[in-house]
Amino acid sequence: MNRPSFTTVAHPAPTRQALRAASASRTFARAALLPTLALALAGCSVLSGPQRDPVTLYAPQLVAQPDPSWPQADWQLAIAPASGARLVDSARIGVRPVPGELQVYRGAAWAQPATDMVETSVLRVLEESGKLAGVGRLATGLRADYRLLLDVRRFESDYRGGGVPAATIEISATLLSNNDQRSVARHTFTQLQPATATDVASVAHAFDQALAAVSADIAGWTLARGQADRKARAAD
């Protein structure tokens, strides 16, 4: 089974601000709502070298489903911009062909940084759950009772010593009380979804499933821990 080409990370990855500036002219806002999408863009490379080879962009579908058993909450939540290391907060698709070695797929990139995809996916599943009195991004100025911080530690394809990689996502979530800036809960979520093949399209599809699963886990945890804290404070 032939593996796709990898490139050693030798240059700084484009930052979230740089990618957003580039994406604004290409109207990528709709891409996050479509099934996994591949767009061949000649001469518009985020990862290409001096030859400016065509780059295929991938946009994992945001398909996380709310769980009806999640608790109903009477409080509001603000989601802070997700953070991550430079490679995670960029367009590059990271891959670990062998343990301890992080490279990127040649000729492929995300349509959005992984941090943006995670933030949007968690927000969307919480909105669609209808379990909160209000939820939105921190920048909206929502008068929220709680604030959710997301640190994306891994968003990469990992071979784990095998012949087929797995979409690997690791996110540290922290729930804070806005009333007294108290840390309510903290938890690290990890999701691995094996790809069906080694090609980048198959890996991107695995990220559809991994992102949906980890987003639902974070949403359910946030509701449960926030509601438990709300009840405990009311009983004091």
pLDDT at position 23 over 50: no
d(CA 151, CA 173): 6
Give residue 236's pLDDT: 72
Model confidence band, residue 185 (pLDDT cutoffs 50, 70, 90): very high
Helices (H) and strands (E) in the chain, counts: 3, 11
Residue-by-residue DSSP string for 184-210? EEEEEEEEEEE-SSSSHHHHHHHHHHH
Q: What is the pLDDT of residues 145-176, one digit of tens each?
A: 999 999 999 999 999 999 999 999 999 999 99
Give residue 1's pLDDT: 57
- Residue of 37 and 184 predicted with greater confidence: 184
Identity of the amino acid at 177: S
Q: What is the pLDDT of residues 54-112, one digit of tens each?
A: 899 999 887 788 999 999 999 999 999 999 999 999 999 999 999 999 999 999 999 99
Rounded to an integer, the average pLDDT of 105-124 is 96
The residue ranges of every structural domain in the chain are 6-61+73-235
Give residue 35's pLDDT: 39
- Residue of 50 and 78 predicted with greater confidence: 78
Q: How much is the pTM?
A: 0.81
Contact 118, 125 (CB under 8 A): no
CATH 3.40.50.10610 applies to domain 6-61+73-235:
yes
Describe the crossing of helices 114-129 and 200-235 by its angle, rounded to 10 degrees: 50
Rounded to an integer, the average pLDDT of 119-125 is 97
Phi/psi-derived region of residue 65, left when phi > 0, alpha when psi is between -120 and 50, beta in every other case: beta
